[in-house]
Each structure stands twice: as C-alpha cells, then as structure tokens.
Chains A and B, each alone.
Chain A
C-alpha cells in the first residue's frame, strides 16, 4: 500500500526585542532566575499589560517577507489553562484576529520547487520555565522567560515528507534571521518547532488522524522525529489499529515519541477576548515605514549574487541560507575579486570549519577580508591549491597575514618554468624505464601514465610547483 505523509509545522519564534511584550522587563537570556520578572509577568492582581510596539513591527516585517496579509486591526485573546510556569492562568495570544494571515514561502529540494502556505502568524507571550530537577521533591519555577514576545507561525498541512518539513523550517529560520527579528538560536529555545503529522493512503482526499509531536528542537531531530512518527502510524494502521489524535513528546536519546496524556484533559482552552487589551490598529504610515526598513531577503540576495559574481544557482542558494554567511561571502568575493573561488572556499573550507567547530560564521577566526587575501594569492598563482589549504589551516590559529604565512611556511608556488624544467629532467633521468614505457604506450594510455610523473615532480619540488606548469612541461618533454 502506498502511504502519503501530511505535515504541518507550528514554529514559535522569540522576537529579538529588548523588553517583554506586555511589560518593561528585560528579555535577556541566561540571567539569574526571576530577576527579569516583574508584577505584570507574575500576573499579580491589579496589573495591566501595555503592548510593545516593536513586537508589532517585527510581526509585520515577517508578514511582508512571506507576502502575507497584514491585518491593520488585530486583537488579543486569552487561552486558559493552569500550569505553574503560567502564573496568570492564561496565555495572552491572538486567536480570532491575528496580525498576519495567508502568506507563503518557496522551498527547494534538489531541483523541485514547492510552495508552502503559511496560514497565520500571531503574536503571543512565552511562558516561564519549569525545572523538574529535585528541589526537595518540588518543581522550581523561573519566570524570566514569561512574557517574552513570540510569533507563532502556523503552516498549512502542505508538506509531504520530513525532508520538506526541514526545508520549510530552514526557510523560515533564514527569513527571521535575515529580518533580524529573532536570533534563531534553537539550543536556547528562541526558535522552536512542533509538527502535526498524519498519514493517508496516497490518492485519498481525507486527512488521517493527526498527532502533534513536540520537543523537536534541532533541524536534525525534526527529520528524525517526523520519520519515526510516520513509521509508527503506518505500522499501527497496517496492524489493524487506528491512530489516536494526541500530543506526543519526542525523546532524542531513544529516538521515539511517547504520549503526553496530561495534555489531553487540558486541551479545552476556553478562549475569549482579553478584556485588558484594546484592539491594536496599525496605521498606513507605520506599515510603510516598516516596509522601507525591510532588508534584502534570501531569494533577492541569491539572484543578485548570481548576477554580480557569476556563481551558480546552487552556490547562491547555499550561501544565502544564512544572512551572516551571505555577507561573509560577499565581502570575501569583493575583496578577492573572484566570486567563484570565494564561493568554493565558503562552501568548502569555511563550511567545514563551521561544522567541525559547531559554531557560527561570526566566530570564525578567519575574517572575510583575510579569506579574500588568500584567494588573491591563489588567483595570482602564488599558491597552488595544496599550499592554499595549508595557509588556511595556519590562518585558523594565527593572526599573521596571508603573505607572512606563505613566507614562513615556505609555500610560495614555483612557477618559474626553468626551475620546473630542471626538476622534470631530473625525475625523467631517475625513472628512465618509466619514460620508455610511456613513449611506447598508446596515446590513450599515456594520459593516465603522466600522473606518475606529475606526482614525482610535485614531491621533488616539496609540493610547491605549479601543477598546470608541471603538466605542460612534462607532456612536452615526455613526448620526446
């Protein structure tokens, strides 16, 4: 039986404001518990929320970036449930009239481009944190996060595989990072994702019962958690059972999901309009100002980089996946004068360093300008690719200039044909038998055989000879 997976994502994005959505407390991460929670965040009697204008600006920016409708009039509602890290007993959110509706983004997997609908993006407040480590048999509550502004971005059930879900998540991540409205830090919880997953027989219209998978807080886990859940659902149905509509928690250590029964009873939120907040109206002027400040977005940037630096569609898509990486590339390309080489280095050595060190481009010890210097020395034939790699390695741990490193490592490439000719002649004299075999061979075999001599010459030159020059000289001399 052919199964089809149907996935929708809910992404909670913490907005990078200084203060909270309804109070003047700081939103800074990692501070001492409860030092950034005031009477409003604690939900003490008699408090009144006053919304933060920046949160509306950021939500509008997101809406504009995904071609959505920005509702100039939006309202707040109360979502009622009891949990200790939500001291008011309700979350202030936008159910009935959200600020952003009906947007879309494009995702690309290999050569296929698909459009994923964004149903809505609404403003709401984050909850505090419950710490379940043992505090004398009690639970600890830190309300520093309570009231941090969020936009919850809800997609249409448009994704058909875990891969598409990851591509969509990455796209939204890139957009919020480009806009500068969220730091995108998944480890610190600034960017969180829940997935609604169901399966149905391919070709049928009706959706299967959906399961909400929570706690998938890295790109890697999103794919694993969804694939795991899809398998679980298919197995269940094929064994004659049914999928129960429920909330399940992903456990990355065991790579499995398990039911969160406690959520079932609470799933009756009794929403109603928040009497403490009036409708918010955003003026045409306000929105026009926001639109003016929109930065260049990934697709537009990719298109420009292709035209400006002659890089491939693929290279442009990868470097623009992250704003900081795209800016790094652009500076290196401008500084070196070679977009193609800059793209190769950013996607090669630089990306490898990012992976190995598990950090971001801002932390890279080699600035874009220094990479540009290195690329210049490749372009002007001072370095061959092997030497360039060695200089790069050295640059990661040294502040010395590229030219100083080339000098101290003795990597200056030998392009002097006289010097290379001398080495070639020496190698040919040392390997007279091989030379004879080469000359006796069929022309189509010679191509492979020349590799032996190239290797010997490079070795004899300490890796410094220019490989193209070596090749050229060898072929002419071996030809007799």
Chain B
C-alpha cells in the first residue's frame, strides 16, 4: 500500500498538523517506508491468534464509586490563556 500526497494532507488535517506543501512529497516517502514495514507484518499468518490489546499480561484494576477529588478550578485554570465566569475560553467554534 502506498500513500498518495492527498492522503498525507488528509491525515495531517485530521491530526491538526500544519504541513507545508513543499514538505508533503518528502513526508509521503517517509510514511511509505513505515507502510512497507506494516505490509511485511501483514504477510504473517495470524489466524487463530488472540489480538494483543496490551503488552502487560494482566487485567484492569477497578476502583470503588467514590468521589475523591474536590474542586481545583483555580489551580487548574492557572495555565488557561483565556477564561471567564469559571469557563475556559477557546476560539469560537461554529457548528
């Protein structure tokens, strides 16, 4: 499988990466190297092998349903570039 330059632009847009048009062919070539590696792995017969969801051979610990965190708004907002009335402010989102 090879990635087209359009696909590279699409993936970059999905990941919110600003990619300069002149860099696209170069990035496509590098990504295609990764794709070749994946193709090699795809060639293996994995029939009947359970997919690995996590490299740790354990199961998840669960916690009891208790409220353990109190209000830390002032602290957590200290880094916010803009705020008002207890809200984080972000550039206008129109839907």
- Name A residues whose Cβ lies closer than 8 Å to a Cβ of B: 17-19, 23-26, 32-39, 42, 44, 50-56, 75, 80, 82-84, 96-97, 130-132, 135-143, 249, 260, 262, 265-266, 268, 270, 273, 275, 277-281
Is B30 part of the contact surface with A, judged by Cβ < 8 Å? no
Q: Which residues of A contact B59 (CB under 8 A)?
A: 278-281
Query: Chain B: which residue is nearest A33 at the CB level?
Result: B86
In chain B, what residue has the closest Cβ to A19?
B67
Q: Let me know if B67 and A50 touch, CB within 8 A.
A: no
- Minimum Cβ distance to chain B for residue A54 (Å): 4
- Asked if B23 CB lies within 8 Å of chain A CBs, one says no
Residues of A with C-beta under 8 A to B3: none
Q: Can you show 12 pairs from A to B with CB atoms below 8 A apart? A: A33-B86, A37-B76, A38-B76, A53-B64, A75-B53, A84-B93, A97-B53, A141-B88, A262-B94, A262-B95, A277-B54, A279-B59
Q: What's the least CB distance linking A158 to chain B, in Å?
A: 30
Contacts of A266 in B (CB 8 A): 14
- Across the interface, do A270 and B14 meet the contact criterion of CB distance under 8 Å? yes
- Taking A52-B65, A141-B89, A262-B94 as given, write out 20 further A-B residue pairs in contact, using a Cβ cutoff of 8 Å, ordered by the A residue number: A19-B66, A24-B63, A24-B69, A32-B86, A33-B86, A34-B87, A35-B73, A50-B62, A54-B64, A132-B94, A138-B89, A138-B92, A139-B91, A140-B87, A141-B87, A143-B88, A260-B95, A273-B53, A277-B60, A280-B59
Which B residues lie within 8 Å of A135 (CB)? 84-85, 87, 89
Q: Which residues of B contact A260 (CB under 8 A)?
A: 95
Q: Which 3 A-B pairs have the closest CB atoms?
A: A24-B68, A140-B87, A54-B65
Closest B residue by C-beta to A281: B59
Instruction: Select one of B67, B77, B85, B90 contacting A18, CB under 8 A.
Output: B67
Q: How close is A73's CB to chain B, nearest CB, in angstroms?
A: 8
Report the separation of the CA atoms of residues A25 and B54 in the bound assembly, to the nearest whole angstrom.
26
Q: Which residues of B contact A (CB under 8 A)?
A: 10, 13-14, 16, 51, 53-54, 56, 58-69, 71-73, 76-77, 82, 84-95
Q: Assess the A39–B63 pair: CB atoms within 8 A.
A: no
Establish whether residues A265 and B76, one from each chain, have CB atoms under 8 Å apart when the complex forms. no
Residues of chain B within 8 A of A140, CB atoms compared: 84-85, 87-89
Majority SS at the chain A contact face: loop
B91 contact set on A, CB distance < 8 A: 138-139
Please measure, in the bound complex, the distance between the C-alpha atom of A97 and the C-alpha atom of B72, giving whole angstroms.
35
The answer to whether residues A52 and B62 also contact, given A32-B86, A33-B87, A138-B90 and a CB cut-off of 8 A, is yes
Distance between Cα atoms of A137 and B89 in the complex (Å): 9
Give the shortest distance, in Å, between B20 (CB) and chain A (any CB). Answer: 20
A19 with B68, Cβ < 8 A, contacts A83-B93, A138-B82, A278-B58 known: yes
Indicate if the CB atoms of B62 and A53 lie closer than 8 Å.
yes
| Minimum CB–CB distance for B77 against chain A, Å | 7
Is A38 a contact partner of B62 (Cβ separation < 8 A)? no
Known contacts A51-B62, A131-B87, A137 near B71 by CB under 8 Å: no
List, in ascending order, chain A residues with CB within 8 A of B95's CB.
Answer: 132, 249, 260, 262
For B65, what are the chain A residues with a Cβ–Cβ distance below 8 Å? 17-19, 52-55
Which of B56, B62, B85 contacts A33 (CB under 8 A)? Answer: B85
Closest to B52 in A: A273
Q: Decide if B88 touches A35 in the complex (CB within 8 Å).
A: no
Kindly state the separation between the CA atoms of A386 and B82 in the bound complex, as whole angstroms: 64
The answer to whether A84 and B90 touch (CB under 8 A), given A18-B67, A50-B62, is yes
The answer, among B60, B71, B87, for a CB contact under 8 Å with A142, is: B87
- Min CB distance A315 to B, Å, is 37
Say yes or no: A50-B63 contact (C-beta < 8 A), given A34-B77, A84-B93: yes
Q: Report B-chain residues with C-beta under 8 Å of the C-beta of A19.
A: 65-68
Enumerate chain A residues within 8 angstroms of B89, measured Cβ to Cβ: 135-136, 138-141
Residue of A nearest to B95 (CB): A262
Q: Which residue of B lies closest to A249 (CB)?
A: B95
Per the bound structure, the CA–CA distance linking A280 and B84 in Å amounts to 40
Given contacts A137-B92, A139-B89, contact A82 B62 (CB under 8 A): no
The answer to whether A132 and B93 touch across the interface, beta carbons within 8 angstroms, is: yes
Q: In the docked arrangement, what's the CA distance between A52 and B64, Å?
A: 6
Please measure, in the bound complex, the distance between the C-alpha atom of A142 and the C-alpha atom of B85, giving whole angstroms: 10
Nearest Cβ on chain B to A78's Cβ, whole angstroms: 12
Contact of A25 among B13, B69, B77, B86 (CB under 8 A): B69
Determine the distance from Cα of A131 to Cα of B92 in the docked complex, in whole angstroms. 10
Instruction: A33 to B13: give the CA distance in the assembly, Å.
Output: 31
Q: A52 vs B61: C-alpha distance in the bound complex, in angstroms?
A: 9
Minimum C-beta distance from B42 to chain A (A) = 16
Closest B residue to A269 by CB, please name it.
B14
Residues of A within 8 A of B64 (CB): 52-54
Which chain A residues border B56 with CB–CB below 8 Å? 278
Cα A38 to Cα B87 with chains together (Å): 14
Question: In the complex, A474→B4 CA distance in Å?
Answer: 96
Closest chain B residue, CB of each to CB of A87: B88
Query: What is the CB-to-nearest-CB distance from A87 to chain B, in angstroms, rounded to a whole number?
Result: 9
Q: How far is the CA of A38 from the CA of B10 in the complex (A)?
A: 33
Q: Specify which chain A residues have a CB less than 8 angstroms from the CB of B62 in the assembled complex.
A: 50-53, 56, 280
Within the complex, the shortest CB–CB distance from A428 to chain B, in Å, comes to 74
